[in-house]
Amino acid sequence: MSDTFKEFPPYVNEIFTIYPFNAKHLALVDPVFEADLETIEYEFIELNKQYEAAATEEEKKKVRQQIREIEAKKEERKWQAYITFLHSKEPSL
Protein backbone atom coordinates (compact mmCIF):
# COMPACT_ATOMS: atom_id res chain seq x y z
CA MET A 1 0.00 0.00 0.00
CA SER A 2 2.83 2.43 0.72
CA ASP A 3 4.17 1.86 -2.80
CA THR A 4 0.81 2.90 -4.20
CA PHE A 5 0.87 6.21 -2.35
CA LYS A 6 4.45 6.90 -3.39
CA GLU A 7 3.39 6.65 -7.03
CA PHE A 8 0.31 8.81 -6.52
CA PRO A 9 0.57 12.08 -8.46
CA PRO A 10 1.14 15.26 -6.45
CA TYR A 11 -1.74 17.47 -5.43
CA VAL A 12 -2.30 20.79 -7.17
CA ASN A 13 -0.88 22.76 -4.24
CA GLU A 14 2.31 20.71 -4.39
CA ILE A 15 2.58 21.30 -8.14
CA PHE A 16 2.31 25.06 -7.60
CA THR A 17 5.01 24.84 -4.93
CA ILE A 18 7.35 22.85 -7.16
CA TYR A 19 6.55 24.82 -10.33
CA PRO A 20 5.28 28.28 -9.34
CA PHE A 21 3.33 30.35 -11.83
CA ASN A 22 5.80 32.81 -13.32
CA ALA A 23 4.84 34.72 -16.47
CA LYS A 24 8.48 35.11 -17.55
CA HIS A 25 9.06 31.36 -17.41
CA LEU A 26 5.80 30.75 -19.25
CA ALA A 27 6.84 33.14 -22.01
CA LEU A 28 10.01 31.11 -22.58
CA VAL A 29 8.00 27.96 -23.21
CA ASP A 30 5.03 29.60 -24.93
CA PRO A 31 6.45 32.44 -27.04
CA VAL A 32 3.07 33.95 -28.01
CA PHE A 33 1.82 34.05 -24.42
CA GLU A 34 2.77 37.68 -23.73
CA ALA A 35 1.44 38.86 -27.09
CA ASP A 36 -1.85 37.08 -26.45
CA LEU A 37 -2.14 38.69 -23.00
CA GLU A 38 -1.44 42.12 -24.49
CA THR A 39 -4.16 41.58 -27.09
CA ILE A 40 -6.63 40.49 -24.43
CA GLU A 41 -5.68 43.47 -22.24
CA TYR A 42 -6.24 45.83 -25.18
CA GLU A 43 -9.69 44.29 -25.74
CA PHE A 44 -10.43 44.78 -22.04
CA ILE A 45 -9.46 48.46 -22.19
CA GLU A 46 -11.61 49.01 -25.27
CA LEU A 47 -14.60 47.33 -23.62
CA ASN A 48 -14.20 49.53 -20.55
CA LYS A 49 -14.31 52.57 -22.84
CA GLN A 50 -17.46 51.21 -24.46
CA TYR A 51 -18.98 50.66 -21.04
CA GLU A 52 -18.30 54.25 -20.03
CA ALA A 53 -19.80 55.50 -23.31
CA ALA A 54 -22.89 53.27 -23.13
CA ALA A 55 -26.07 55.29 -22.90
CA THR A 56 -28.61 52.70 -21.81
CA GLU A 57 -28.59 50.06 -19.13
CA GLU A 58 -29.13 47.39 -21.79
CA GLU A 59 -25.94 48.46 -23.61
CA LYS A 60 -24.01 48.42 -20.35
CA LYS A 61 -25.33 44.93 -19.60
CA LYS A 62 -24.08 43.65 -22.98
CA VAL A 63 -20.65 45.21 -22.46
CA ARG A 64 -20.40 43.79 -18.92
CA GLN A 65 -21.08 40.34 -20.37
CA GLN A 66 -18.33 40.87 -22.95
CA ILE A 67 -15.95 42.01 -20.18
CA ARG A 68 -16.66 38.81 -18.22
CA GLU A 69 -15.96 36.77 -21.36
CA ILE A 70 -12.65 38.59 -21.90
CA GLU A 71 -11.65 37.99 -18.27
CA ALA A 72 -12.45 34.28 -18.70
CA LYS A 73 -10.47 34.23 -21.94
CA LYS A 74 -7.46 35.75 -20.15
CA GLU A 75 -7.66 33.22 -17.33
CA GLU A 76 -7.99 30.35 -19.81
CA ARG A 77 -4.95 31.59 -21.74
CA LYS A 78 -2.89 31.72 -18.54
CA TRP A 79 -3.84 28.14 -17.73
CA GLN A 80 -2.98 26.98 -21.26
CA ALA A 81 0.46 28.53 -20.94
CA TYR A 82 0.95 27.03 -17.48
CA ILE A 83 -0.01 23.57 -18.72
CA THR A 84 2.48 23.94 -21.58
CA PHE A 85 5.11 24.98 -19.02
CA LEU A 86 4.33 21.97 -16.81
CA HIS A 87 4.49 19.64 -19.77
CA SER A 88 7.94 20.97 -20.64
CA LYS A 89 9.16 20.39 -17.08
CA GLU A 90 7.41 17.13 -16.26
CA PRO A 91 5.50 15.45 -19.13
CA SER A 92 3.75 13.03 -16.76
CA LEU A 93 1.84 15.92 -15.18
d(CA 10, CA 5) in angstroms, rounded, equals 10
Name the 3-class secondary structure at 74: helix
Question: pTM for this structure?
Answer: 0.75
Q: What is the pLDDT of residues 29-72, one digit of tens each?
A: 889 999 999 999 999 999 999 999 988 999 999 999 999 999 99
Q: Domain residue spans in the chain?
A: 2-89
